[in-house]
Structure 1
Amino acid sequence: MKKTLLLLSTLALLSACDKAPQAPKPAPPSVQASLVPETLPTDKWVGKWIGVEGLHLTVSKDDSIGRGHYLLTMQYGLDADAAGTFKGQAGEDGILFNRPDGPQVLRAGNGAATGLKWLADKKDCLVVNTGEGYCRE
């Protein structure tokens, strides 16, 4: 009985030694990398957007600063001084930016969300506030 037990133990040890070493498992991607998409949803907003009565918005990436940063060139009011280029940054709700009338958030919406009857039937729009929106044709 002891011989059988010794023989089985020896065979188990030898079979374990015959196995080729396994390659180490690759490290799992970091949690942060898996949570941040390669392309931000706000990157799809780059381009020209049209408002009403001559209002317009152009969104461009600000690659000099880095990912998620934008330049917003806009005529946001009827007066000549209601225009400019503003630096924006992607946030949870859209693109956050500051202009002379205070901090703003540019959000995705539709024509109805702009509150402007001339844009009401549009599907692809960006809205700053009710009464200020820009849509793609």
Structure 2
Amino acid sequence: MGKPRIRPIALGLIKHQGHIFVSKGYDPVKDQGFYRFLGGGIDFGETSLDALQREFREEIQAELTNIRYLGCLENIFTCRGKPGHELIQLFQCDFVDSKFHNLEKIYPLVEGKNVHDAMWISIDQVQAGNLNLVPESCYRYLYD
């Protein structure tokens, strides 16, 4: 195993009719589900904006518009029993294609060989503590 490192990532916060667009994850060690904004790693020489757009294209074949930078968040966590440390470049954005606005649909999200679920979840349900959005530092951006 290599030396632990800080991972730079770009994530997109997309809101629509009181909902946010997220991917669903599960930590078998904690036996706990969680939700997270879509996005991913920033490659060397790539801007965080370019990484955000590339990740949405790769994962759900979506183009973004109205992109604006919200800030940088630090996330130190444990997932699947392993420590993690991320610097998150967080952007608010919208989908170009309204086909992604179906609040009831589950969208296939492809990450390499793995397929996960992407979906809309209620902001009120997140704020009420019924849905586990990670990292918690994202909560302050849920309401305009």
Shorter-chain TM-score: what band? under 0.3
Greater C-alpha Rg: 1
**Please, what TM-score do these two structures have when normalized by structure 1?**
0.24
Q: Which has the higher contact order (CA 8 A, sep 6+)?
A: 2
The structure that is strand-richer by fraction is: 2
Q: What is the TM-score when the length of structure 2 is the normalising length?
A: 0.24
